[in-house]
C-alpha cells in the first residue's frame, strides 16, 4: 500500500470479520475501539436483512463490541433507500422480517399484496410457501422484482440455511424474471455507505471475509480491500480468483495497528 493516499474511513463486513454467529472474534472490539479513538469514520455492512440496526447493535454489544446504531448499514436499509430514490412513496409486497419491513416503512412505502409496484424479497428463517407463491403471481402480473442480496445460504448453529439468493432463484425459475440485487457484491451498497459518512473511495478501506462479495464489491467501488481469513474464504482459495485483495490478514486483530499506519500513508 505504498504511494497511496491516507485512510480516514473504513467499511467492514460483520459476520466472519467481527463476529461468528453471535460470538465476537478476537480483535473485533479492539478494532472498533481503535477506529473511534483515531476519529476514523466507519460503517459496518451486512447483507443480513433480518435485523434492524438497533437489534444488531445489541447483538454486537453482547459480545463486547460497542458501536453506535448509525454505524450499521444493512442490505435492508440500502434496499429501502434505493426504492425510495427510484419510486418515492411506492408500494411493495414484502417477504422478510422486521429489518426489512421497518426500513421500507421508514421511507414511506406501503406494504400490500394488491398490485404492488415491487415484490421485495429479503431473508427470513421462516420462508412461507404461500408467500412465495403470492410473490410469483405478483411478479408474473408485472410487479418489479427486488432482492436484498444474492447470498444462497446463511449460517445457523446447525449448519447452512437457504437464504435470499436461493429463494430468488426459485421465483426466477417460476417467472423467468431476474431480480435486481441491492446488497453486496453490488457496489451500490458500498457507495451508499460511503455517502452516509461523507467518505471518498480513495481514502477508504473495505474489510471482508469473502472474496466473491466483500472484496469484489470493494474493488468495484474503488476501495482498497483487506481479506481476513476468519470467515468464508480460505487462504488457499485466494489465488483461484482473477482479482486480489490489497492485503490478506489472518484476522481483524492484525488490522488494528493498520488503522494508525494507513492514516499516515
**Predicted confidence pLDDT, tens digits, the chain (265 residues):** 446 789 999 999 999 999 987 789 999 999 999 999 999 999 999 999 999 999 999 999 998 999 999 999 999 999 999 999 999 999 999 999 999 999 999 999 999 999 999 999 999 988 999 999 999 999 999 999 999 999 998 766 677 788 999 999 999 999 999 999 999 999 999 999 999 999 999 999 999 999 999 999 999 999 999 999 999 899 999 999 999 999 999 999 999 999 999 987 6
Distance CA 126, CA 106 (A): 23
The confidence score (pLDDT) of residue 225 equals: 97
- Backbone φ, ψ for residue 153 (5° rounding): -140, 160
Which residues, at least 6 apart from 183, have a Cβ–Cβ distance to it below 8 Å? 47, 49, 75, 78, 79, 148, 149, 150, 151, 189
Work out the burial of residue 161: count CB atoms within 10 Å of its CB; fewer than 13 is exposed, 13-18 middle, 19 or more buried.
Answer: middle
Give me the helices (H) in the chain, please.
Answer: 28-38, 53-62, 75-86, 98-106, 129-140, 164-175, 187-196, 216-220, 256-263
The confidence score (pLDDT) of residue 1 equals: 43
Q: Is 206 helix (H, G, I), strand (E, B) or coil?
A: strand
Give me the helices (H) in 20-122, please.
Answer: 28-38, 53-62, 75-86, 98-106
Which tens digit of pLDDT belongs to each residue from 25-70?
A: 999 999 999 999 999 999 999 999 999 999 999 999 998 999 999 9
The confidence score (pLDDT) of residue 3 equals: 60
CB 118 within 8 A of CB 83: yes
The confidence score (pLDDT) of residue 216 equals: 96
- Nearest partner of 228 among 201, 204, 255, judged by Cα: 255
Q: Which CA distances in Å does 168 have to 9, 101, 110, 131, 180? A: 33, 18, 22, 13, 10
Tell me the longest C-alpha to C-alpha distance in the chain: 56
Distance CA 118, CA 74 (A): 19
Contacts 24+ apart (CB under 8 A), 236-244: 237/211, 238/211, 241/211, 241/212, 241/215, 243/211, 243/215, 243/216, 243/219
Q: Element (H or E) spanning 116, and its range?
A: none
| Cis upstream peptide for 93 (omega within 30°) | no
Distance CA 5, CA 215 (A): 19
Provide the phi-psi class of 78: left if phi over 0, else alpha when psi is between -120 and 50, else beta.
alpha
The confidence score (pLDDT) of residue 2 equals: 45
Judge whether 113 counts as a catalytic residue: no
Q: Exactly one of 13, 151, 209, 214 is catalytic; which is it?
A: 13
Judge whether 117 counts as a catalytic residue: no
* Joined grid coordinates for residue 6: 491516507
Pairing of strands 41-46, 9-13: parallel
Amino acid at each position: 500500500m505504498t504511494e497511496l493516499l491516507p485512510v480516514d474511513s473504513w467499511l467492514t463486513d460483520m459476520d466472519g470479520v467481527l463476529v461468528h454467529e453471535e460470538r465476537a472474534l478476537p480483535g473485533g472490539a479492539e478494532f472498533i475501539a481503535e477506529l473511534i479513538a483515531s476519529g476514523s469514520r466507519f460503517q459496518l455492512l451486512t447483507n443480513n436483512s433480518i435485523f434492524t440496526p438497533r437489534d444488531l447493535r445489541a447483538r454486537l454489544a453482547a459480545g463486547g463490541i460497542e458501536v453506535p446504531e448509525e454505524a450499521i448499514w444493512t442490505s435492508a436499509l440500502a434496499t429501502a433507500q434505493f426504492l425510495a430514490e427510484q419510486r418515492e412513496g411506492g408500494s411493495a409486497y414484502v417477504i422478510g422480517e422486521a429489518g426489512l419491513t421497518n426500513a421500507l416503512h421508514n421511507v414511506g412505502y406501503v406494504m400490500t399484496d394488491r398490485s404492488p409496484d415491487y415484490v421485495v424479497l429479503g431473508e427470513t428463517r421462516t420462508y412461507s410457501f404461500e408467500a412465495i407463491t403470492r410473490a410469483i403471481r405478483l411478479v408474473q402480473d408485472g410487479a418489479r422484482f427486488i432482492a436484498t442480496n444474492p447470498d444462497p445460504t446463511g449460517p445457523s448453529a446447525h449448519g447452512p440455511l437457504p437464504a435470499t439468493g436461493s429463494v430468488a432463484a426459485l421465483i426466477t425459475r417460476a417467472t423467468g424474471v431476474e431480480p435486481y440485487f441491492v446488497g453486496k457484491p453490488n457496489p451500490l451498497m458500498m457507495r451508499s455507505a460511503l455517502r452516509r459518512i461523507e467518505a471518498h473511495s480513495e481514502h477508504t478501506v473495505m474489510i471482508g471475509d469473502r472474496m466473491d462479495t466483500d472484496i469484489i464489491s470493494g474493488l468495484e467501488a474503488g476501495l482498497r480491500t483487506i481479506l481476513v481469513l476468519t470467515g468464508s474464504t480460505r487462504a488457499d482459495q485466494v489465488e483461484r480468483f482473477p482479482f486480489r485483495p490489497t492485503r490478506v490478514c489472518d484476522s481483524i486483530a492484525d488490522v488494528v495497528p493498520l488503522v494508525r499506519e494507513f492514516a499516515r500513508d
